[in-house]
Structure 1
Amino acid sequence: MENKLDLDERFYAGHRFDDGIGLAEFELAAKRLDAEEKAFLWATNTTSLLAPVIWFFGYQLHVDWTANDVQPDVLPLITTAFIIFSTFFSVMSINHVASSRRNRVFAERKIVLLRRSMGVRYGENSLVLPSWRLEGADNPFGLKLFSGYFSYSSFPVFLLLSFSALSIILLFDNIPLGEFSPNEFELIDPSQTAVVAGAVWFLIGTFIFRLSLREQNENLFLWGARVTSFLARIPLVSNVEYNLYRSKLEISEAARIGARTDIIIPFALSIEDQAFYSHRGINWRGVARASWQFARRRRISGGSSITQQCARTNFLAKLSPAWRRKIVEFALARWLESVLSKEEIIRIYLTTARFDPGIYGFHRAHRHFFPEEPEIDRAVSFILVERLGNIRSLFLAERIRQLLERLVSEGLMSVDDVKRVGLLYEQLINAQKIINNTTITPSDIVACFAKA
Structure 2
Amino acid sequence: MDSKGEQYFPTYKFDEKSRDVLLKEFEEAQKIANTQTQAYAQVTNLILLAFAIIIPLFISKEKYSIDIKEYSLIFVFVIFIFGAILLRYFIEVQKQIIFNARKVITLRLMLGIDYGHINLTLPNWRVEGATNPFAIKFFAGWLNFRSTPFWILTIALNILFASSIEMKDFSFTIMYISKFFNINQEIKIPWYFGNCIITFIYYYVFRKNLVDRHENLYLIYIKKLANIFKLKAFLDTEYILYRAKLSVIELQRLNIDYNSMYEILKVIEDHNYDKHNGVDFKALVRGALSQFKVYRSYHNNKVKAIMVKSGGSTITMQLTRTLFIQTRQNALKRKIFEILFSFWLNKQFSKKEILDFYIASVRFENKVLGLANAIKFFFGDISKLTNEECFVLVERLSNVSSTFKEERIKFLIAKLEKKNIVLNKKNIYAIYSSLEKDNKIKKI
What do residues 86-136 of structure 1 show as CA deviations (whole Å, max 9, x unaligned)? 211221121111111110110111111111011111222232211111111
Aligned to 1:247: 244
Aligned with 2:152 (options 145, 159, 169): 159
Name whichever of 345-354 and 396-405 sits farther off. Answer: 396-405
- The answer as to 2:103 corresponding to 1:110 is yes
- CA displacement at 1:203 relative to structure 2: 2.8
* 2:349 maps to amino acid: L
CA distance in 1, matches of 2:148, 2:355: 42
1:140-170 Cα distance to aligned partner (Å, 9 max, x none) = 1111111110001112321221121122223
Find the residue that maps to 1:375 and give its secondary structure. coil
Q: Per-residue deviation at 1:403?
A: 0.3
Q: Within 1, Cα distance between the matches of 2:373 and 2:222?
A: 30
Could you tell me how far 1:277 is from its partner in structure 2? Answer: 0.8
Query: Counterpart of 1:47?
Result: 47
Provide structure 2 residue ranges, at least 5 long, that are not aligned to the other structure.
Answer: 179-184, 297-308
Normalised by the length of structure 1, the TM-score is 0.85
**Residue aligning to 1:327:** 336
Instruction: Please list, as runs of the form range in 1=range in 2, the aligned pairs for 1:384-403 lying within 5 A after superposition.
Output: 384-403=393-412
Per-residue Cα deviation, 1:23-45 (whole angstroms, up to 9, x for no partner): 11112212222332233123322
Residue deviations 1:267-304 (CA, integer Å, cap 9, x gap): 11111111111111111220121233357789994211
Mean Cα deviation higher: 127-136 or 36-45: 36-45
Q: Does 1:83 align with 2:84?
A: no
User: How far apart are 1:336 and its partner, in Å?
Assistant: 0.8
CA contact (8 A) 2:105 2:133 kept: yes
Once the two structures are TM-superposed, the CA of residue 221 in structure 1 deviates from its matched residue by 2.9
User: What secondary structure sits across from 1:277 in the alignment?
Assistant: coil
Change in 2 beyond 3 A, CA 1:121/1:152? same
Q: Which runs of 5+ in 1 are unaligned?
A: 439-452
Measured in 2, the distance between the counterparts of 1:298 and 1:274 equals 19
Q: Residues 275-290 of structure 1: matches in 2 within 5 Å?
A: 275-290=272-287
Identity of aligned residues (%): 27
Displacement of 1:422 after TM fit?
0.5
Alpha-carbon distance in 2 for matches of 1:346, 1:356: 18
**Equivalent in 419, 426, 439 of residue 432 of structure 1:** 439
Distance in 1 (alpha carbons) for counterparts of 2:351 and 2:231: 26
Q: Which residue is equivalent to 1:132? A: 125
Structure 1 residues 179 and 41, CA, compared in 2 at 3 Å: closer, same or farther? closer
User: Scaled by the length of structure 2, what TM-score is found?
Assistant: 0.86
Residue 412 of structure 1 aligns with which residue? Answer: 421
Quote the Cα distance in structure 1 between the aligned partners of 2:47 and 2:405: 66
d(CA) in 1 for partners of 2:339, 2:186: 44
2:358 to 349, 354, 357: 349
Are residues 1:141 and 2:141 paired?
Answer: no
Report the Cα offset of residue 362 of structure 1: 1.3
What CA RMSD, in Å, does the superposition of the two structures yield over aligned residues? Answer: 2.8
Write the distance in 1 (CA, Å) between the matches of 2:151 and 2:90.
11
The one-letter code of the counterpart of 2:121 is V
- In the alignment, is the contact (CA less than 8 A) between 2:247 and 2:360 conserved in 1? yes
| Partner in structure 1 of residue 304 of structure 2 | none
In the TM superposition, 1:22-421 aligns within 5 A as 22-60=22-60, 63=61, 75-173=68-166, 175-178=172-175, 193-294=190-291, 301-318=310-327, 320-371=329-380, 373=382, 375-414=384-423, 417-421=424-428
- Residue 4 of structure 2 contacts residue 112 of structure 2 at CA under 8 Å; is this kept in 1? no
AA at the equivalent of 2:79:
S
Q: Deviations over 1:294-322 (max 9, x none)?
A: 57789994211111111111122455211
